[in-house]
Structure 1
Amino acid sequence: MNANADPQELSKFGELAHTWWDPLGEFRTLHEINPLRLDWVDAKAGLRGRRIVDVGCGGGILSESMALRGAEVLGIDLSTKPLRVAQLHAMEAGLANVVYREVSAEALAAEAPASFDVVTCMEMLEHVPDPASVVQACATLARPGGWVFFSTINRNARAFLMAIVGAEHALRLVPKGTHEYARFIRPSELSRFARDAGLAVDEVRGMAFNPLTHRAWLTHDPSVNYLVACRRPA
């Protein structure tokens, strides 16, 4: 297996794979924030007709929604069970423009550099040992002029309280143990990873979520969850 993967993380998400497409299950929050992420990426890059790779696609929630917007999507992950769930769901939906592969971002980047109009890597960087390596791979996968999108969680006291104490323990929005505080990434760190990979940072936006109304919205405060849009120079 590729060195830049944590077997415990892969196993954790593998055990939850059967619940991936249950909108009221373990991944309910992911379903509820997905339209916001989707619309943001679409507004920036224009999904219709684009060739896209979704890095760390899991059960395919974002991959499939981008395919429904008219993109040609390749979803990649190293966790076998979620990929099987993604493949089955796409087949049941009759989607021919989304396919899935069990391959690392780094291996695909070596195989197919500069092949994609858009690269998405959402809620994944905080689960790998070397996030900078994934960012570099994402940059390599993008064609000149292409877009690269990331989302992750900031590392500070508020993020610890909101994303771990609140979301995992108090409100049980996500399963306990989903996140490890030490792996959270500050926007300044992610921006540096992106610049070191040759990307230009276009925008950093915060993402807020109200667990009572189950509504998500973009903000200018990246103190907890945040998104980063980058471009590979043409």
Structure 2
Amino acid sequence: MTSTLNADPAELAKFSELAHRWWDLDSEFRPLHQINPLRLNWINGIQPLQGLKALDVGCGGGILADSMARKGADVLGIDLSSKALKVAQLHALEAQTPRVEYREVSAEALAAEAPAQFDVVTCMEMLEHVPDPASVVQACADLVKPGGWVFFSTLNRGAKSFLFAILGAEYVLNLLPRGTHEYAKMIRPSELARYARHAGLELHDTQGMEYNPITQRYWLSADTSVNYLFATQKPLSAA
């Protein structure tokens, strides 16, 4: 393992400042709460979570981790933001969420410590915030058991995503704080597919996510030009 942490201090600081608002449904994190049922049902539809051991990489305040635990999984959420993790832990206590724990550790460090320990690994809305997304993808592949599933979601890099995800969401509609995303860090589906393939993961399903600002409704579709999700699986032969 390298001694350099695969994290951007500015990104950690940015989300740490907002940590106390993770579970405020009218805060900057409202879009995550709105899309969470979509991504949770998509994951659970491909791989039912009941009774499985799941890991949420870049869990933040625990929105997805908490919901996966309520679907019956034993969940570990990891992040490098101490403040966000404290909020996640406090919410788990207040909401009496069963079977969820949180740790401040990087995906790479946990992969070295506990390889092939999870049935399901999720890494949602996180890859576009780290210096080396391929390293995170490799760590996720190392953490999942042979036959297990790794789910990713991120932002495409292109003219439409710049218009919708940055100008629209951050500057016009104020859905997200300005500066939440950097265009250069967005990842094309072809790039993420390459990272996954190099990590030994097989791509099984791709979904796009769209948003109507008038109805304020999100839905999954075949349009991956802005937000998209990947379902990948580690072959059993990787044992």
State the TM-score, normalized to the length of structure 2. Answer: 0.96
Q: How far apart in 2 are the matches of 1:212 and 1:91?
A: 36
Partner deviation per Cα, 1:69-123 (whole Å, 9 max, x = no partner): 1110000000110100000000111123000000000000000000000000000
Residue matched to 1:160: 162
Q: Please report how far the alpha carbon of residue 221 of structure 1 lies from its aligned counterpart in structure 2 after TM superposition.
A: 1.1
- Contact kept, 8 Å, 2:70 with 2:98, in 1: the verdict is no
Residue 114 (structure 2) aligns with: 112
Q: State the Cα deviation string for residues 18-61 of structure 1 (Å, max 9, x = none).
A: 11101111101110000000000000010111100000000000
1:19 matched residue in structure 2: 21
Residue 156 of structure 2 contacts residue 186 of structure 2 at CA under 8 Å; is this kept in 1? yes
Alignment length (residue pairs): 234
CA offsets 1:168-198 (integer angstroms, 9 cap, x no match): 0000001101000000000000000000000
1:130-152: CA deviations, max 9, x gaps?
Answer: 00000000000000000000000
Could you tell me which amino acid in structure 2 is paired with residue 58 of structure 1? G
By how many angstroms is 1:3 displaced? 1.9
1:232 aligns with 2:234: yes
1:73 matched to 2:75? The reply is yes
Secondary structure of 1:23 counterpart? coil
Gaps of 5+ in 1: none
Among the aligned pairs, what percent are the same residue?
67
Aligned counterpart in structure 1 of residue 7 of structure 2, from 5, 24, 40? 5
Counterpart code for 2:6: N
Name the SS for the 1:26 alignment partner: coil
Which 5+ residue runs of structure 2 have no aligned equivalent? none
Distance 2:52 2:217 in 1: 28
Q: Check conservation: 1:204, 1:229, Cα contact below 8 A.
A: yes
What letter corresponds to residue 49 of structure 1 in structure 2? G
Cα-Cα RMSD: 0.9
Corresponding residue for residue 42 of structure 1: 44
Task: Report the residue type matching 1:162 in the other structure.
Answer: F
Residues in 2 aligned to 1:199 and 1:129: alpha-carbon distance in whole angstroms = 21
User: Hey, what's the Cα distance between the residues in 2 that align with 1:144 and 1:7?
Assistant: 33
Partner SS, residue 221 of structure 1: coil
Aligned residue in 2 for 1:216: 218
Contact 1:127/1:183 (<8 A) preserved: yes
Q: Is the 8 A contact 1:2 1:104 kept in 2?
A: no
**Counterpart contact for 2:128–2:154, Cα < 8 Å:** yes
What SS is found at the alignment partner of 1:18? Answer: helix
The residue that corresponds to 1:182 in the other structure is 184
191, 203, 206: which is aligned to 2:205?
203
TM-fit CA distance, 1:2: 5.0
Q: Which residue of 2 aligns with 1:172?
A: 174
Letter in 2 for 1:94: Q
- CA distance in 1 between partners of 2:151 and 2:98 (Å): 24
Moved over 6 A (4+): none
Which residue pairs with 1:147 in the alignment?
Answer: 149
Secondary structure (helix, strand or coil) at the match of 1:75 reads strand
Equivalence for 1:133: 135
TM-score by length of 1: 0.98
